[in-house]
C-alpha cells in the first residue's frame, strides 16, 4: 500500500516538472521543489540549500515545516562545503543523489541547524527502520559536470519510517529532473547577471566620457563598479613616473583619510601592477607582504580583506594609475568580476581621450538604428506585397487552371496531339505557380499568426510512405535509392495531416534534388523526449558553414542557381519549420560539405496546444 502511495506521490511531484523547467527565478524554483517534497513525498518539512560560489558555502534558501518566525531566522543559514561533504561521507549512499545519515544514540545535537520536533531528539529509536529526529536525508542537485550545486534535507516522514527503496527511487527521479531545472535556472541567472553587468558597463562607458573633473569621473567609476561587483572600499592611485610617486586620487570606505594621505614611491603590490600592467588578486591583503601598510591603518582593525589590484592603461598602453578594490575575504573576487574589471579600468583611464570617439560612436549608432528601422519597414512592406500578390493571383490562377484542364480533356473540341502536349506543359507550369502561391499564402498566415491547424489522429509512418510513393518516379529517374527504416507501428500523433505531408514532402524533395545522381536517401524515426522524431538523411552536396545559419530563412537557397532551374524560391524550409513549431515540435539539421545532410523534426505525442 505504501508503494502505491509513493508511486502516486511521484506522479504528483512530476506534475510540477513543467513548472520547474520553465521557472527561471531560483527562489521561485526552490519554493516549487520544497512544496513538492512536502506535499507529494510524505515529509513534514524540508530545507533547501543553494551553493554560493563566491563563498563556497551552501545557503538555506527555502524551508518548510517550521513556524513563520523560526523559518525567517533560519533562512540564510550557511553550511561550509567541506562540512557538507564530510557529512555525506559519513552517510549511507542510497543512490546518485540521495544519502541517509542514520543518527547514533550519542549524537551531538549541537551539529543540527534546526529540528522539527526538538522534544524527540533524546528519545531512542524503537525499531531499526524507525525514523529518528536526528536522522538526515540529503538529496543533492548536480550540474552537467557532476558538481554539487545545492541539496535538500527532507525531514519528518509522515509514516515515521526510514525511506523505503521505492521512495528513494522516486526521490532519485525527482532529483535528477530538479537538478536540470536548478542548473538551468542558475545558467539563466548568470546570463541575466552578465547582461546586467554589460548593461552597466555600457552605461558607465558613456557616463565616464562626460566632460567632468577627475574626482567626479572616479566617483562615477566607483558607483558603476559597485553595481556589478560589490566592494567595501575602493582606492585609486595616479602614477607619476617622472617623480616615482603613487598619488591617491580617490577613495571610499572607513579609511578614506588615511588612504588619501598615502603619497609614496611606486612600490608594493600596486607598484608591481603598475610596472607589469597585469591584474593581481589576493585572497587576504593583510597576509600578502606585497601590500604596503598605510600609515594610521592598523591590521588588527579588520579580520582580513580580499583585494583586486587593476592597472589603469591609456589607449597608448601607458599605465597612468592603479585601481584597488577591497572586500571581506569570505567573498573572494570571481573570474567573471576579474573579466569585467579590466575594461572598466580601461574606460576610466581613457575617459577624456575617448570624448571625440564617443560622439562618433553615437552618430554611427544613430545611423545604424535608423538603417535598421528602415530595413524593418521595408521588410514589412515586402511581406505585405507578397501577401497581396498571392491573394490576387489565387483566383485567376484557379480560373486558368480550370479552363486549361477542360480544354486538355477535349471538352471544347478534339485536341490534336501536339496541342495536347502544349496543354500538358502549360498545366505543369500553372500547377507550379499555384503551388508557389499556396506556399506564399501559408508563409503569410504563419507570419501573421492566422494559420489554423486541422488536428486529427495521424500515423506519420503512413504519410511518410505515401510521400515516398509520390517521389518514387523522380527518385528512380535520378538513380537514387530511397529507403524507409521503420514500419507502420509508430505512435499516432494529433496533427494536421495535409501540412505534415507537406513537411515530409519538402524534406524528401530537398534530399532528392540536392543529392547527385545515384545517391542514397534514408528516412528514419524514433521516440525522443516524449515526441515522435523523424529524420531524412541524404548523401548529397551538404551545406556550407557560411549558409548553415541562414538555411531556415525566408527566400534563401543554398544554391541560388536552382532558382532559375526549377522555379524554387527558398521558402519550403521556413514554412516547414514554422508548421512543426506550431505543432509543438522543433526542426533542425546537421550537414557537411560533400557528405550530405540530415534534417530532423519532432511532433509531441500528447495533444497539441495551438498557440
Q: Percent of the chain beyond pLDDT 70?
A: 75
pLDDT tens per residue, range 130-182 = 999 898 999 999 988 889 999 999 999 999 999 999 889 988 988 888 888 88
Would you state the cell numbers that stand for residue 35, as one nine-digit string? 512544496
pTM listed for this prediction: 0.43
Provide the pLDDT for residue 574: 86
Q: Is residue 339's pLDDT more than 90?
A: no
Q: Is residue 280's pLDDT more than 60?
A: yes
Q: Which residues of 379-403 are buried (b: 16+ CB within 10 A; e: fewer)?
A: eeeeeeebbeebeebeeebeeebee
List of residues 6+ apart from 170 with CB closer than 8 A:
6, 7, 9, 10, 13, 41
Strands 520-528 and 481-484: parallel
List of residues 6+ apart from 282 with CB closer than 8 A:
269, 288, 290, 291, 306, 307, 309
Provide the pLDDT for residue 564: 42
| The two domains 2-191 and 227-353 share their CATH topology (first three levels equal) | yes
Fold topology of 358-448: Helix Hairpins (1.10.287)
- Judge contact between 246 and 263, C-beta under 8 A: yes
Would you state the cell numbers that stand for residue 501, as one nine-digit string? 505531408
Q: Where do the domains of the chain lie?
A: 2-191, 227-353, 358-448, 455-604
Provide the pLDDT for residue 379: 59
Collapsing DSSP states into helix, strand and coil, what is residue 351?
coil
Q: Is residue 471's pLDDT more than 60?
A: yes
pLDDT tens per residue, range 513-535 = 899 999 999 999 999 888 999 99
Instruction: Report the alpha-carbon distance of residue 175 to residue 139 in Å, rounded.
Output: 7
pLDDT tens per residue, range 77-95 = 888 888 888 889 989 999 9
List of residues 6+ apart from 287 with CB closer than 8 A:
304
CB atoms within 10 A of CB 492: 14
What single-letter DSSP state applies at residue 524? E
CB atoms within 10 A of CB 593: 12
pLDDT higher for 428 or 72? 72
CATH of domain 455-604: 3.30.565.10
Provide the pLDDT for residue 552: 86
Confidence of residue 358 (pLDDT cuts 50, 70, 90): very low
CATH class of 227-353: alpha beta
84, 86, 213, 92: which is closest to 149 by C-alpha? 84
Q: Looking at domain 2-191, what is its CATH homologous superfamily?
A: GAF domain (3.30.450.40)
Provide the pLDDT for residue 97: 93
516, 531, 530: which is closest to 587 by C-alpha? 531
Q: Is residue 301's pLDDT more than 80?
A: no
pLDDT higher for 370 or 178? 178
| Sheet with 305-313, side-by-side order of all strands | 264-265, 245-252, 233-240, 319-328, 305-313, 280-282
Confidence of residue 550 (pLDDT cuts 50, 70, 90): confident
- Judge contact between 443 and 458, C-beta under 8 A: no
pLDDT tens per residue, range 189-224 = 777 767 766 776 666 666 665 655 666 777 777 777
Amino acid at each position: 500500500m505504501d508503494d502505491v502511495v509513493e508511486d502516486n506521490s511521484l506522479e504528483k511531484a512530476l506534475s510540477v516538472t513543467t513548472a520547474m523547467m520553465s521557472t527561471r527565478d531560483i527562489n521561485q524554483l526552490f519554493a516549487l521543489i520544497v512544496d513538492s517534497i512536502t506535499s507529494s513525498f510524505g515529509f513534514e518539512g524540508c530545507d533547501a540549500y543553494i551553493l554560493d560560489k563566491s563563498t563556497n558555502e551552501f545557503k538555506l534558501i527555502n524551508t518548510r515545516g517550521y513556524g513563520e518566525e523560526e523559518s525567517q531566522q533560519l533562512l540564510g543559514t550557511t553550511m561550509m562545503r567541506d562540512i557538507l561533504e564530510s557529512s555525506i561521507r559519513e552517510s549511507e549512499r542510497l543512490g546518485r543523489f540521495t544519502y541517509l545519515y542514520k543518527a547514533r544514540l550519542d549524537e551531538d545535537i549541537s551539529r543540527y541547524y534546526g529540528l522539527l520536533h526538538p522534544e524527540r531528539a533524546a528519545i531512542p529509536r524503537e525499531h531499526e527502520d524507525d525514523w529518528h529526529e536526528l536522522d538526515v536525508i540529503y538529496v543533492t542537485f548536480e550540474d552537467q559536470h557532476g558538481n554539487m550545486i545545492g541539496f535538500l534535507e527532507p525531514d519528518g516522514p509522515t509514516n515515521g519510517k526510514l525511506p523505503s527503496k521505492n521512495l528513494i527511487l522516486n526521490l532519485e527521479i525527482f532529483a535528477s529532473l530538479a537538478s536540470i531545472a536548478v542548473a538551468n535556472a542558475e545558467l539563466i541567472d548568470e546570463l541575466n547577471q552578465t547582461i546586467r553587468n554589460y548593461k552597466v558597463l555600457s552605461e558607465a562607458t558613456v557616463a565616464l566620457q562626460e566632460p567632468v573633473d577627475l574626482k567626479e569621473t572616479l566617483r562615477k567609476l566607483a558607483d558603476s563598479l559597485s553595481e556589478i561587483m560589490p566592494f567595501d572600499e575602493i582606492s585609486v592611485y595616479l602614477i607619476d613616473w617622472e617623480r616615482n610617486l603613487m598619488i591617491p586620487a580617490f577613495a571610499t570606505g572607513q579609511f578614506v583619510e588615511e588612504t588619501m594621505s598615502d603619497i609614496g614611491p611606486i612600490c608594493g603590490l600596486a607598484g608591481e601592477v603598475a610596472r607589469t600592467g597585469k591584474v593581481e588578486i589576493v585572497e587576504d591583503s593583510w597576509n600578502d607582504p606585497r601590500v604596503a601598510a598605510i600609515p594610521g591603518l592598523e591590521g588588527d582593525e579588520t579580520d582580513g580583506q580580499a583585494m583586486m589590484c587593476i592597472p589603469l592603461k591609456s589607449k597608448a598602453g601607458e599605465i597612468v594609475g592603479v585601481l584597488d578594490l577591497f572586500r571581506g575575504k569570505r567573498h573572494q573576487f570571481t573570474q567573471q568580476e576579474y573579466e569585467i574589471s579590466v575594461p572598466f579600468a580601461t574606460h576610466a583611464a581613457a575617459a577624456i581621450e575617448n570624448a571625440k570617439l564617443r560622439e562618433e560612436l553615437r552618430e554611427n549608432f544613430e545611423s545604424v538604428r535608423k538603417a535598421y528601422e528602415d530595413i524593418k519597414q521595408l521588410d514589412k512592406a515586402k511581406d505585405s506585397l507578397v501577401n497581396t500578390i498571392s491573394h490576387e493571383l489565387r483566383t485567376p490562377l484557379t480560373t486558368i487552371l480550370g479552363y486549361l484542364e477542360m480544354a486538355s480533356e477535349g471538352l471544347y473540341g478534339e485536341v490534336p496531339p501536339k496541342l495536347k502536349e502544349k496543354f500538358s506543359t502549360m498545366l505543369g507550369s500553372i500547377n507550379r505557380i499555384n503551388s508557389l502561391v499556396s506556399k506564399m499564402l501559408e508563409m503569410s498566415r504563419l507570419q501573421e499568426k492566422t494559420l489554423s491547424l486541422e488536428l486529427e489522429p495521424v500515423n506519420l509512418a503512413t504519410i511518410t510512405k505515401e510521400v515516398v510513393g509520390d517521389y518514387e518516379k523522380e527518385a528512380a529517374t535520378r538513380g537514387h535509392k530511397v529507403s524507409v527504416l521503420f514500419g507502420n507501428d509508430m505512435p499516432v500523433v494529433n496533427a494536421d495531416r495535409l501540412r505534415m505531408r507537406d513537411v515530409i514532402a519538402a524534406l524528401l524533395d530537398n534530399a532528392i534534388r540536392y543529392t547527385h545522381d545515384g545517391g542514397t536517401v534514408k528516412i528514419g524515426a524514433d521516440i525522443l523526449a516524449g515526441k515522435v522524431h523523424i529524420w531524412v538523411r541524404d548523401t548529397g552536396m551538404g551545406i556550407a558553414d557560411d549558409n548553415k545559419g541562414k538555411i531556415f530563412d525566408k527566400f534563401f537557397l543554398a544554391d541560388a542557381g536552382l532558382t532559375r532551374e526549377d522555379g524554387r524560391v527558398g521558402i519550403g524550409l521556413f514554412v516547414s519549420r514554422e508548421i512543426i513549431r506550431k505543432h509543438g515540435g522543433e526542426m533542425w539539421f546537421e550537414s557537411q560539405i560533400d557528405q550530405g545532410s540530415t534534417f530532423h523534426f519532432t511532433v509531441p505525442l500528447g495533444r497539441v496546444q495551438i498557440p
